[in-house]
Structure 1
Amino acid sequence: MARFEIPEGWTAQAYRFALDPTPTQLRALASHAGAARFAHNHMLALVKAVMDQRAAERSYGVPEAELTPVLGWSLPALRKVWNQRKAACAPWWDQNSKEAYNTGLDRLARGLDAWSKSRKGERAGSAVGFPRFKSARAPRSVRFTTGVLRCEADRRHISLPRLGAVRTHESTRKLARRIEAGTARILSATVRQDSAGRWHCSLQAIVAGKARPAHAQRSSHPVVGVDVGVKADALLVVATPDGTELDRVPAPKSLTAAQSRLRALQRRATRQHGPYDPAPKTKQAPSKRWRRTRARIGRTHAHAAAVRRDVLHKATTALAQQHDVVVVETLNAAGMRTAGGARKRGLNRALADAALAEVRRMLGYKTRWYGSRLVEADRYFPSSKTCTACGRRKPNLTLADRIFDCEHCGVRIDRDLGAAINLARLGVPTPAVGEQGPAGSGPVAGRGAMRETGPAPAGQAAGHEASTPHHQVDQTGTASPQGEAA
């Protein structure tokens, strides 16, 4: 099946709304999510049974041509087998939309495809395991791609197949105005329940003429570098190539602020009867008080995530709208939290609380929306360990050293500010031979920042990270999506 191609001049965008469903709609949403889980688990059990049967037949010497027929792993093949079996295994199937079952089958097809490609070495990244059965306590979600998908005229309801018009907590006018003007079209809708128990609907649409808003303030500095960190006063440090600090966004530390409440709630939950009794090692019916405590824990986590997401969205939107070129480092956020054990538990929690990888992800699509350009520095680019004045590297710099003190030229500068300046210089075009850069700007286009004091390996500047192949930075500063810790 051919993939959907976004028309020229259009941009993919998602609009997320919190839902306020009625009790009947709540039961219907839970039923649709449960149907998706059932279809996934049922077909996964069938796939495993066929694989085990073929393996057993091979062990008995059965010829390959006489083995049990292979069950296809593609979505059309799984859907065909499901339609043949649903009347027997799920006689209640007609109570839900067909999109609910298609959601579970699509997840299974994607999981099997990822596992197969990972085994063959055709998939980048860490190894992918074989798909597992979905638990009833897993996050609930269902995706609709056909049927009625629209924003109602009152701009307070979203119509979904088999669910009808579901009320939203906020107005849908931003999307509704574009649809009425013919500059937006809804492609699909994904309904998901968060950890707090609230349902959200994400409408994926294509939008025409997405550009920088007319009211957006333009900065006099077209090129900026952004250094990310976990310090409370420096989640984002924005600087220009000439050394001017434009902004310093403090970290919200929402998870850290919620730790005292989470500790109290989790201790209370352990004293109550949960679904598992560790003494006889058996499952039990959870008590109502345990359910209420778990709901409070989920709401606390959801609030911390909402605060973090709000700060990141506001900061990245301002960067994409106000500047022409934004340079960021490509951090291996997952690899930074893998090693260390208990001795770096606090650092791992701080890294998770800061959500460093989200900054680059958000800037990736917002720069396309607003007509700016995102330059991604290589993971091993020594932004924090390079002097902004003479360009020499200081390989023995540790995370505890927050002030960069150059032993060659004597410059003292804040570590995060220096990293942001070095990143910003990667976005400046390389001048012709004999041409000088801006006064006081130091090396241009990052060439001085890449100059080494000795034949040090590139990975030395990045500290201890996951073993993945690194890529060289070209003259324009474009690199593969990986990075160095600040």
Structure 2
Amino acid sequence: MKKFQAQPGFVVQAYRFALDPNAGQEAALRSHCGAARAAYNWAVGWVEASWWQRRAEESYGIAEEDLTPWRPWSLPSLRKAFNEAKHTDPRFCGWWEENSKEAYSTGLANAAAAFDNYAKSKRGKRKGRAVGMPRFKSKRKARLACRFTTGTIRVEAGGRHVTLPRLGPVRVHEPTVKLLTHVQAGTARILSATVRHERGRWFVSFQTEVKRDLVRVARPDIAVGIDLGIKTLAVMADSSGEIREVANPRHLSAALVELRRASRLVSRRRGPDKRTGQKPSRRWEKANAARNRVHHRVANLREDALHKLTSAVAAEYGTVVVEDLNVTGMVKNRRLARHIADAGFGEIRRQLGYKAKRNGCRTVAANRWFPSSKTCSGCGVVKAKLPLHIRTFECDACGLVIERDANAALNLAALAAAAATGTAVGGDLDTGKVSKPRGVDQKTRTTLPSCKAGQRRAGGATLPHQRQQETRDRTQTEALTLW
């Protein structure tokens, strides 16, 4: 095996494989993941104990300088405190030596990250929703996961086994040829390995540093606009005028009959009850496992279909234009929430974002308020209203009649030229700053056909639709965001 040398052109990439552990190895995997959870709970309790102690002392009027000092939550501090407590703490005595030290380090690192997120959110330095104090992880609900960063971590030469610290060689369900080829050629180095139990199986993910050569797309000069929907998953229109449709497989809808039958069977068994402390029966656990298998199969089918779609798009076109959809707001529609979640709009955009970089493909996101469906792809006139149930676009100005989604895809494809040259395309955008969350105060304005050059009002004033036409060049580039 050639020696690995860090050189320009290396990227960090993950390789995930399904495992087929035997009974002893599965018990060891669960023990390591349980150790990570126990270390996390210990760290949360150890740090928060000083918080509650200070609050109690403050209630008695103790001065600030006499209060119990704050306990640090940095990873080195947690490791030092845990190494001192594991020998005497009854929660770890007698069994902590059975697992790798990496299992406890995983829990401590997760606790340190949780406290950092809480502190940053409290100070307003973290974007997104407010993050609360870290809470203890339940034994029944916590996700089984453990990360290894040191020790023996390798892919065996046969391609059917991986070696992990304290676990030894574990058989994989699928060959590891893709990663093994890079490792043997000296073009990859394994940085860490994470084992996780999800969808009823054990998986191992190797974080690697791999040398990746840029693979050019098949049609670098062609831009494609992708309009996502429920009836048709994706309508793709490229700059050459070709329009293609990708049918929505509707994996969840196809499995609803089987899922309802499995759920009905679960409801007729004696399940767990937190209020009374009732334990689930064996028949409930079997029925629940059968229902979970249906959910897992649907998730696997959806993931496979989306990966095939995004890989094909990122390998063919030089520029991909998609919409910045408000998926969080869309799923609040109780009639369409299930279908929107089943389609996976957000996952399509996420996958296109990182797959396009591999092939030198440029990805452009249209502004959320760009009226792609209301704009005529022929003359650029924008309709004031276009209800969702109207599936055919009819232009009142030029008489163009086209399918609604195909018209939107053509408008999105035209945005690629605007992003590159700054020229105007059909559609009028309001690019002012949003004063309300999610831009709910923005409305699409109607753009009238532009008049001939030089046509002015008395006194040299421009007409309203002329002013809109003149500002379109300036606002178009601002309405686009490059990923």
Q: TM-score range by the shorter chain?
A: 0.7 to 0.9
Match of 2:104 in 1: 101
- Aligned pair in 2 of structure 1 residues 193, 66: CA closer, same or farther (>3 Å)? same
Q: Show the counterpart of 1:447.
A: 424
Letter in 1 for 2:88: A
Answer yes or no: is 1:179 the counterpart of 2:167: no
Distance 1:87 1:52 in 2: 25
Cα distance, 1:478 vs structure 2? 4.3
Structure 2 residue aligned with 1:112 = 115
- 1:256 aligned to which of 253, 256, 266: 253
Q: How far 1:224 sits from its partner (Å)? A: 0.9
1:374-394 deviations in Å (ceiling 9; x for gaps): 112222222222221222222
Aligned to 1:441: none
1:159: how far off?
Answer: 0.7
Residue 438 (structure 1) aligns with: none
Q: How far did residue 469 of structure 1 move?
A: 10
**Which of residues 336, 347, 351 is equivalent to 1:358?**
347
Aligned residue number for residue 391 of structure 1: 380
For residue 396 of structure 2, give the secondary structure of its aligned residue in structure 1. coil
Output the amino acid matched with 2:264.
Answer: R
Q: Secondary structure at the match of 2:88?
A: helix
Pairing 1:156–2:150 present = no
C-alpha separation in 2, matches of 1:49 and 1:327: 51
Structure 2 residue corresponding to 1:268, chosen from 257, 265, 269:
265
Q: Deviations over 1:23-52 (max 9, x none)?
A: 000000111111111111122122222211
Q: 2:286 aligns with which of 286, 292, 302?
A: 292
Instruction: Give the distance between the partners of 1:167 and 1:293, measured in 2 at CA.
Output: 29
TM-score normalised to structure 1 length: 0.84
**2:424 maps to amino acid:** R
What is the count of residue pairs matched by the alignment? 443
In structure 1, how many angstroms separate the alpha carbons of the residues matched to 2:260 and 2:45? 38
Partner of 1:81: 81
Structure 2: stretches of 5+ with no match in the other structure: 1-5, 443-473
* Larger-Rg structure: 2
Computed over aligned residues only, the root mean square deviation of the Cα atoms, in angstroms, reads 2.7
Amino acid in structure 2 at the alignment position of 1:322: E
SS in 1 for 2:215: coil
- Amino acid aligned to 1:236: A
Conserved? CA contact 2:317–2:361, under 8 Å: yes
Shift of the alpha carbon at 1:107? 1.7
Q: How does 1:298-337 map to 2 (within 5 A)?
A: 298-337=292-331
Deviation sequence 1:184-217 (CA, Å, 0-9, x none): 111111111113x21011111121133328xx7x
What's the counterpart of residue 130 of structure 1? 133
The aligned counterpart of 1:282 is: 276
Asked whether the 8 Å contact 1:157–1:166 carries over to 2, the reply is yes
Q: Secondary structure at the match of 1:204?
A: strand
Cα gap change, 1:228 to 1:473, in 2 (>3 Å): farther
Secondary structure at 2:126 match in 1: coil
Residues 394 and 138 (structure 1), Cα distance of their counterparts in 2 relative to 1, 3 Å cut: farther
> CA–CA distance in 1 between the matches of 2:49 and 2:100?
27
Residues of 2 paired with 1:54 and 1:456: CA distance? 50
- 2:289 aligns to what SS in structure 1? helix
Is this contact kept in 2: 1:254–1:304, CA < 8 A? yes
% identical equivalent positions = 45
- Residue aligned with 1:362, SS: helix
Q: Which amino acid aligns with 1:358?
A: E
Deviates more, 1:11-20 or 1:258-267: 258-267
Secondary structure of 1:193's counterpart equals strand
Contact 1:381/1:458 (8 A) holds in 2 = no
The answer to whether the Cα contact below 8 Å between 1:426 and 1:476 also exists between their aligned partners in 2 is no
CA contact under 8 A between 1:275 and 1:284: conserved in structure 2?
Answer: yes
Are the equivalent residues in 1 in contact too, given 2:431–2:475 (CA < 8 A)? Answer: no
Contact 1:225–1:421 under 8 Å retained in 2: yes
Q: What is the alpha-carbon distance in structure 1 between the residues aligned to residue 116 and residue 441 of structure 2?
A: 24
Please, which runs of 5 or more residues in structure 1 have no aligned partner? 1-5, 433-444, 482-486
CA-to-aligned-CA distance 1:44-76 (integer Å, 9 cap, x gap): 122222211112222222222221121112222
